Amino acid sequence: MQEKPISVRRMSMKELIQKIIRKVFSREFISYAVFGVLTTIANILVFKLLFEHVGMAYGIANIIAVLTAKVLAYITNKLFVFRHHCANAKELLLEIIKYVFARGFTGLIDIFGMFFAVELLHADEMMTKYIIQVIVIVLNYILGKKLVFRNSKKQELAQE
């Protein structure tokens, strides 16, 4: 017996554009962009303050800046971007663990990316910081949405 192929409806260009516009102008995406910019500014300002004004080594200044930004990002993403609620302490602990691993990964990209670009490529510290922040922001959104602050199907339906 031959199985019938599953028909996949192809999206028209207009439908695809409308879907992208709905995603880009969603409350979640806009709030992520706003808080992402604020977190990035905090990261860069802490780095600039410690590196240029205090005279701290760029590596130490960058680690402190990254950690400061990660704490700020957790608070803003949980409360304002993904509006994720935990039912109990166990759920909260699991969320924090997932967040630490996800942001730890992007933090390592930030730290080692700075080292690689500055030490091996002799790039400018501030320009490198700006470029790496773009990469980190994109990865943080994907990991936050798909791994850390992911709602159950029941929660997703209730939010719609």
pLDDT of residue 127: 93
Whether pTM > 0.95 for this model: the answer is no
**No. of H helices and E strands in the chain?**
6, 0
Q: Return the DSSP state at 2.
A: P
The beta strand positions in the chain, using DSSP E, are: none
The string of DSSP letters for 41-81 reads HHHHHHHHIIIIIS---HHHHHHHHHHHHHHHHHHHIIIII
pLDDT of residue 115: 93
The domain spans of the chain are 31-150
Burial 35-56 (b: 16+ CB within 10 A, else e): bbeebbebbbebbbebbeeeeb
pLDDT of residue 159: 47
pLDDT of residue 21: 80
pLDDT of residue 8: 57
Give me the average pLDDT of each 10-residue run along the chain (160 residues).
59 80 81 90 94 94 92 91 89 91 91 94 93 89 86 52
Radius of gyration of the chain (CA): 20
State how far the Cα of 43 lies from the Cα of 53, in Å rounded to an integer: 15
